[in-house]
Amino acid sequence: MEFFSELRLYYNRKLKEALRNPAYLFMSAFLPLMYLTLFAPLLKNLTGMPGFPPDGVLNIFLPGVVVVLSVFGGSFAGFRLCDEIRQGIIERFRVTPTSRLALLLGAVFRDITNVLFQTLLLSLVALPFGFHPNWTGFLLTLLILSINTALFASFSYGIALRLQSEDALAPITQGLTLPILLMAGFLLPMSLAPQWLKIAAHFDPVYYSVEAARALINGHFAESSVWQVFAVNLPLLALVFLWALRAYRKALG
């Protein structure tokens, strides 16, 4: 019970930090709307093309966008931790008996909350534009996004604790996320890609998230990508999370 109390307190603390930052709230709401406003008009001429359903281009485009939000929402989480290290906040936790697991989980849950908020906002705004999700599949997609965010946030926190510098963290984060997202086919279906790129995509965990999100949003629950995303990403999340937890315990003693 003490652990859950610490987890609740730290999660609330991280959430209040975000709510007290107007720029953070503005960008959380603005970025999803920008994706929809700038990209949705370009998709009308793709209706009926290979890989796109005849009556729902957004049902292919939007799942890729929300997966991108989960990758960015997790990958850049470490920058906030670098700032806390510089301010001495993390150092002060050394003298407290607070569970290191609660500290890591509280931060990760805050990142998941932010990504789910962005996803819900973007999806609601997209409904008048022609977005018609299968709602059961949409709920399962939220679970996939939560796993994605936790995976990349855990990695980002672990790296941040070791480097303790935004300047050192930035090239690693950008150098990792860009090729991963490009190989995942988040803008266009990978069915349009050449054979070599299709093969390479299977070594990218985000590819499985994009494919599963598209299948679920369109109500195709029997597609292999639905079980593959959990078979690939859950073990990977467990490994990365344990590594990040070890980094927390080493940094805080």
Above 80 in pLDDT, residue 31? no
Query: Which residue from 116, 84, 62, 79 is spatially nearest to 10, judged by alpha carbons?
Result: 84
Note whether 123 and 35 are within 8 A (CB).
no
Which residue ranges make up each domain of the chain? Answer: 2-252
- Whether the model clears a pTM of 0.75, i.e. scores above it, the answer is yes
Give the span between the Cα atoms of 11 and 105, in whole angstroms. Answer: 8
The pLDDT tens digits of the residues spanning 196-237 come to 888 888 999 999 999 999 999 999 999 999 999 999 999 999
The pLDDT tens digits of the residues spanning 114-141 come to 999 889 988 988 888 888 899 999 999 9
Mean pLDDT of 190-195: 80
The pLDDT tens digits of the residues spanning 55-108 come to 667 888 889 889 998 998 899 888 888 888 888 777 777 767 778 898 899 999
